[in-house]
Structure 1
Amino acid sequence: MIRPLLAALLLAAAPVSAQQSHLTVQSTTSTQNSGLYEHILPIFEASSGIDVRVVAVGTGQALKNAGNCDGDMLITHAKAAEETFVAEGKGLARHPLMYNDFVLVGPKADPAGAAGEDIVVALTRIAEAQAAFASRADDSGTNKAERALWAAAGTDPTQGSGAWYLETGSGMGATLNLGTAQGAYVLTDRATWDTFANKGDFEILVEGDPRLFNQYGIIIVNPAACPATRIDEAQSFARWLLGPEGQNAIEAFAPNGKQLFFPNASE
């Protein structure tokens, strides 16, 4: 069943007369690095004539950029921060778009004995062993999720900063590269891990814990806060993403036969 807010958005704007039209999407890096946009954007652009320009940064930076009126739409994965963005009047309604999950990866030898089905137990064991752990430490959606999981484990890993807790301040790919080079555990979104080429002897050690659920949402920047927002183009792209064609395109994205994102706009 389509929620009332979503139904209103799907009907909100007439199709854009899109000669030379474009919009800027502030997006999390996982959607870009996975190749999702390379798959779905040509489909939308061919039918709409709208050029979608993606700025791929961590979710925290994406929200800051959009709050500074640098962008027309957000595709990010930090629900609480997204809801705050809307509550502050910077964005219109937030809509769920798709989901996947986070996974804990590390060396096959698993020196901390972290492998299992409980992410909090795994992080507790890593902290107790002071085993190397590489963190993005960049306020991205993944970093926000990681901090929440450490809090659930009752641990402040930053007390080990520079020793066993390695803060990269970088994107997921760079953090995974450091992790594999240093033998450090890493929390990563599954899409980036599945498309990451430098796995070495690393493998997934924890997956399937409900606390590793990773929801993506979309928000149109509020034109009342940012008058230059390309509202017609943004609404056109949002209608497409949240409608059957966009949701089917997301579902069909399966590099090497493996689906990386699962559409759930109607939930």
Structure 2
Amino acid sequence: MNINKSQVSLLLFFFFLISPFLVIGQGYAKPNDFLTIAVTTSTANSGLLNYLLPRFEENFGIEIRVIIRGTGQALETGKKGDVDLVLVHAEELEKKYVADGYFTRRNNLMYNDFVLLGPANNPAKIKNSDSIVTAFEKVISSKSIFVSRGDNSGTHVKENLIWDLVEFNSPKQYSWYLSTGSGMGATINTTVAKNAYTLSDRASWVTFKNKYNTKIILEGDKALKNQYGILLVNPQKHPHTKKENGKLFIDWLLSSTGQSLIASYKVSGQQLFFPNADPKN
């Protein structure tokens, strides 16, 4: 079939006319569109993000680039405008950053809990029926080795709140208190090696392999709830951030689809995160 120049011009005209409406999946993403998000080690190492993100990317054509940080570092990364979103777990600290204007939106996303890990021989004689405050008091009185992340992560923030409840200031001055300045995996490794106690989020513990003779010593205290929030970086402070795509991703996570996916994620048959979105915030 012969096609003359006028027909070619007509075809090109129609192609450029409709090209803005060509979409990838359900979204209206541009080629090579992406978001950058800073996340906690627990959401990354648990495998949750590997479960969630491909589904969003397939539906909306927006690549999610992940930076793994402790909560404090993740919030600072967002404060500087180096990411578009943060997914963290230190609620009061998050709200302070919002109040200070570094983020325009914070939503509850999901929760699990913290657990106190320790050696099977349990030298501090902690009972699962103890409160977490009593457990920390027994660590002090027995001078049992306690390993802290010491990195201003969400877990470290929770640990410090418990020390405050115990009214025990500056535990790091004592020889039985060790600070790794590292992520949860490295901290649990040190705990196992030192036959020590530590506070961990449950997801990190469930997915940790080298448990040896370390086990959960205490769980179930209401004070050990571990709430996760997702925050949007303030575009007025950082106009280069991808506000609309960020909102799209947050809304998807808070939707029935995102929440159902979070609830369905399991490791060894165990649900690691429990959705509790508050989309109105």
Task: Tell me, in whole angstroms, the C-alpha distance in 2 between the residues paired with 1:184 and 1:79.
Answer: 28
1:47 aligns with 2:59: yes
Structure 1 counterpart of 2:37: 25
How far is 1:156 from its partner?
2.4
1:151 aligns with 2:171: no
- Aligned partner of 1:138: which letter? D
CA contact (8 A) 1:18 1:48 kept: no
User: In terms of mean alpha carbon deviation, does 103-112 or 19-28 score higher?
Assistant: 19-28
- Aligned partner of 2:29: which letter? S
1:80 aligns with 2:92: yes
CA contact (8 A) 2:132 2:221 kept: yes
TM-score, normalised via structure 1 length:
0.92
- Aligned partner of 2:43: which letter? T
- Aligned partner of 1:133: which letter? F
- Aligned partner of 1:168: which letter? T
Q: Residue 216 of structure 1: SS of its match in structure 2?
A: strand
Task: Tell me, in whole angstroms, the C-alpha distance in 2 between the residues paired with 1:253 and 1:64.
Answer: 29
Task: Tell me, in whole angstroms, the C-alpha distance in 1 between the residues paired with 2:41 and 2:277.
Answer: 20
- Aligned partner of 1:185: which letter? Y
- Aligned partner of 2:176: which letter? W
- Aligned partner of 2:243: which letter? I
CA contact (8 A) 1:25 1:73 kept: yes
Structure 1 counterpart of 2:21: none
Task: Tell me, in whole angstroms, the C-alpha distance in 2 between the residues paired with 1:116 and 1:230.
Answer: 46
Structure 2 counterpart of 1:94: 106
TM-score, normalised via structure 2 length:
0.87
Q: Residue 112 of structure 1: SS of its match in structure 2?
A: coil
Residue 131 of structure 1 is aligned with which of 129, 136, 144?
144
Question: Over the residues paired in the alignment, what is the CA RMSD in angstroms?
Answer: 1.3
- Aligned partner of 1:110: which letter? N
Q: Mark the runs of 5 or more structure 1 residues left unpaired by the alignment.
A: 1-13
How far is 1:115 from its partner?
2.7
Greater relative contact order (CA < 8 Å, ≥ 6 in sequence):
1
Structure 2 counterpart of 1:111: 123
Q: Mark the runs of 5 or more structure 2 residues left unpaired by the alignment.
A: 1-25
User: In terms of mean alpha carbon deviation, does 122-131 or 148-157 score higher?
Assistant: 148-157
User: Which of the two has higher C-alpha Rg?
Assistant: 2
- Aligned partner of 1:155: which letter? F
- Aligned partner of 1:177: which letter? N
Task: Tell me, in whole angstroms, the C-alpha distance in 1 between the residues paired with 2:30 and 2:124.
Answer: 55
CA contact (8 A) 2:36 2:67 kept: yes
Deviations 1:145-171 (A, max 9, x none): 00000111121252544x100000000
Task: Tell me, in whole angstroms, the C-alpha distance in 1 between the residues paired with 2:232 and 2:172.
Answer: 38
- Aligned partner of 1:152: which letter? L
- Give the % identical residues: 44
How far is 1:114 from its partner?
1.8
